[in-house]
Amino acid sequence: MDSSNQDPRAPVLEAFASIQGEGRYVGQPQVFLRLAGCPLRCAWCDTPHSWVVKDGGRARVAAPGGVRREDALVDARAARAWIDELDPSRAMPVSVTGGEPALWPDFVAALARELGGRRLHLETAGAHPRALARIADDCDHLSIDLKLPMDLGAPVEVDAAGPDTEPAPRTDAEWRDARRAVLALARGRDAALKVVVAGGRDATDYDELLDDARELCPDAPLVVQPATPIGGVAAPDNELTDAVLAAARGRGLDARLLPQLHRLLGLP
**pLDDT score recorded for residue 1:** 64
CB atoms within 10 A of CB 63: 14
Residues 6+ apart with CB under 8 A from 116: none
Question: What are the two backbone dihedrals, phi and then psi, of residue 230, each rounded to the nearest 5 degrees?
Answer: -165, 145
* Cα angle, residue 53 at apex, residues 50 and 55 outer, rounded to 5°: 140
Helix axes 207-216, 172-186, angle to 10 degrees: 30
User: What is the homologous superfamily of the domain 9-197+208-219 according to CATH?
Assistant: Aldolase class I (3.20.20.70)
**pLDDT score recorded for residue 2:** 66
Q: Provide mean pLDDT across the span 14-41.
A: 97
Please write the tens of the pLDDT for every residue from 224-240: 999 999 988 999 999 99
**pLDDT score recorded for residue 267:** 84
Interatomic CA distance for residues 194 and 42, integer angstroms:
14
Q: Map residue 117 onto helix, strand or coil.
A: coil
**pLDDT score recorded for residue 147:** 96
Q: Provide mean pLDDT across the span 104-108.
A: 98
Residue 162 DSSP label: -
Q: Provide the percentage of residues in the chain whose pLDDT is more than 70.
A: 98
Is the confidence at residue 182, as pLDDT, over 80? Answer: yes
Side-chain half-sphere CA neighbours of 24 within 13 A? 20
Please write the tens of the pLDDT for every residue from 196-221: 999 999 999 999 999 999 999 999 99
**pLDDT score recorded for residue 231:** 86
**pLDDT score recorded for residue 59:** 98
- Alpha helix (H) residue ranges in 60-159: 76-86, 105-115, 129-135
Is the confidence at residue 157, as pLDDT, over 60? Answer: yes
Name all contacts of 86-91 with Cβ < 8 Å and 24+ positions apart.
Answer: 86/15, 86/16, 86/17, 86/31, 86/61, 86/62, 87/17, 87/31, 90/118
Is the confidence at residue 4, as pLDDT, over 60? Answer: no
Is the confidence at residue 149, as pLDDT, over 80? Answer: yes
Is the confidence at residue 6, as pLDDT, over 80? Answer: no
Please write the tens of the pLDDT for every residue from 45-82: 999 999 999 999 999 999 999 999 999 999 999 999 99
